[in-house]
Chains A and B, each alone.
Chain A
Amino acid sequence: MAATTTIKQINLNPGQRAERKLLVTVAEWQEPTLDGSTTGIETVRELLGTRTEDSSIEYNPDIQESTDILGNNYTDVNKTQPSQAFDPFLILGGSRLGAFLNDIRRRNALSELQQFTIYVITAFVGSEEDGYETEKHTDCSITYDSIGGDANVNFPITVHFSNKITTGSVDKIAANFEFTPDTTI
């Protein structure tokens, strides 16, 4: 079924290229508060891609192609399994995601890797007034691929998107953004 609402247009001048920073991936998860309380749980958000020079969302489509007796080709997309690798993902002071994943790594608590909400903010669509178009993916996984490196400790990670998507918008590009789901008329 085609989209029933007007497609928002890209907020750039004709021909202007979108800077890479306008495609933002943010991880959200819950963890105990840092104040030492044993019962407090807080939601934490962190921008992915600090010190990363190149990273893309790979959709990994599962494609089935066929050709009928007239020579027409048909391509069926059965599913996509999107993922996004961040390499390097350096261990940096102040990174709560780095600390969180490292804690999971040392306990080998693999099931805890599946608790992330990932926001993909396309800041080249929308505005500060109307909000920036965003996809909210729930129940995503973040896996660590290795740890080590040369001069600095690198802990490259891959985000595996769940495809449980809620479309909407965020009011700002900052950790305290508010996500508003799209309304269906």
Chain B
Amino acid sequence: MDKYQAVIDFLIQCPVIAENPLFFNFLDAKDNNKQIITQSNETSLNKKFIDGSVMKRFTFTIVDFRSVIYQPIPKVEGYTNENVEEIIDVQSIMDWVNAQADIENYPDFGNDCKIDSMRTTSENPNLNGVDTQITPALAKYSMSIQIDYIDTSKAIWK
């Protein structure tokens, strides 16, 4: 199973992603657009086991564009700000990924790969920047996800 397609098939189960346009390695900075960006993974970090299987890591980043507004926060306790609501919605993607890990619902990497763990690399989304030159202004959030899996394709024991 192709791991990129497996990740796409997995992520489209996430409600926030399912309801919005999703791109793969293509930038289209519009409100609510999501993008999967692949990352390289150092093979030197692979762990080789004595049976020939190898622990490998697959990392990718999800970018989420959200409109932001110029709105000072009123000094009223509990008053919600639209920008805060947006990041909470972005956060829900991370929460969904971690919830799937808890119930061991992982992308299908095929018969020769057994996923060991899946986690977001941070607790909350990273704000990469805000573009105020366009209307509406767009905030670019990102979150990285690491999947550790055991590749048994070269294991000696069948």
A residues near B, CB below 8 A?
19-24, 47, 49-55, 123, 172-175
- Of the four ranges (under 10, 10 to 19, 20 to 34, 35 or more), the interface on chain B belongs to 10 to 19
DSSP majority for the A interface? Answer: loop
Tell me whether B47 and A21 are in contact (CB under 8 A). no
Tell me whether B157 and A174 are in contact (CB under 8 A). yes
Q: Tell me the bound Cα distance from A24 to B51 in angstroms.
A: 7
B51 — which chain A residues lie within 8 A by C-beta? 21, 24, 47, 49-50, 52
Nearest-Cβ distance from residue A125 to partner chain B, whole angstroms:
14
B residues near A, CB below 8 A?
47-53, 150, 154-158
Given A19-B52, A21-B52; A53-B47 close (CB under 8 Å): yes
Tell me whether B157 and A53 are in contact (CB under 8 A). no
Nearest-Cβ distance from residue A174 to partner chain B, whole angstroms:
5
B157 — which chain A residues lie within 8 A by C-beta? 24, 47, 173-175
A49 — which chain B residues lie within 8 A by C-beta? 49-51
Q: For B158, give its contact among A50, A52, A174 (CB under 8 Å).
A: A174
Tell me whether B49 and A123 are in contact (CB under 8 A). no
Closest to B152 in A: A50
Q: List 30 A-B contacts (CB under 8 A).
A: A19-B52, A20-B48, A20-B50, A20-B52, A21-B50, A21-B52, A21-B155, A21-B156, A22-B156, A24-B51, A24-B156, A24-B157, A47-B51, A47-B157, A49-B49, A50-B49, A50-B51, A50-B53, A51-B49, A51-B150, A52-B49, A52-B50, A53-B47, A53-B48, A53-B49, A172-B158, A173-B156, A174-B157, A174-B158, A175-B157
Nearest-Cβ distance from residue B154 to partner chain A, whole angstroms:
8
Closest to A121 in B: B156
B53 — which chain A residues lie within 8 A by C-beta? 50
Closest to B157 in A: A47
Interface centre among B47, B51, B52, B53, by most chain A C-beta atoms within 10 angstroms, is: B51
Tell me whether B158 and A173 are in contact (CB under 8 A). yes
B48 — which chain A residues lie within 8 A by C-beta? 20, 53
B156 — which chain A residues lie within 8 A by C-beta? 21-22, 24, 123, 173
Q: Tell me the bound Cα distance from A49 to B48 in angstroms.
A: 11
Interface centre among B48, B50, B154, B156, by most chain A C-beta atoms within 10 angstroms, is: B50
A21 — which chain B residues lie within 8 A by C-beta? 50-52, 154-156
Closest to A50 in B: B51
Nearest-Cβ distance from residue B51 to partner chain A, whole angstroms:
5
Tell me whether B50 and A53 are in contact (CB under 8 A). yes
- Add 6 more A-B contacts to A20-B48, A51-B150, A52-B50 (CB < 8 A): A21-B51, A23-B50, A24-B51, A50-B53, A53-B49, A172-B158
Closest to B51 in A: A49
Nearest-Cβ distance from residue A32 to partner chain B, whole angstroms:
24
Q: Tell me the bound Cα distance from A50 to B114 in angstroms.
A: 13
Nearest-Cβ distance from residue A44 to partner chain B, whole angstroms:
14
Nearest-Cβ distance from residue B71 to partner chain A, whole angstroms:
43
Closest to B150 in A: A51
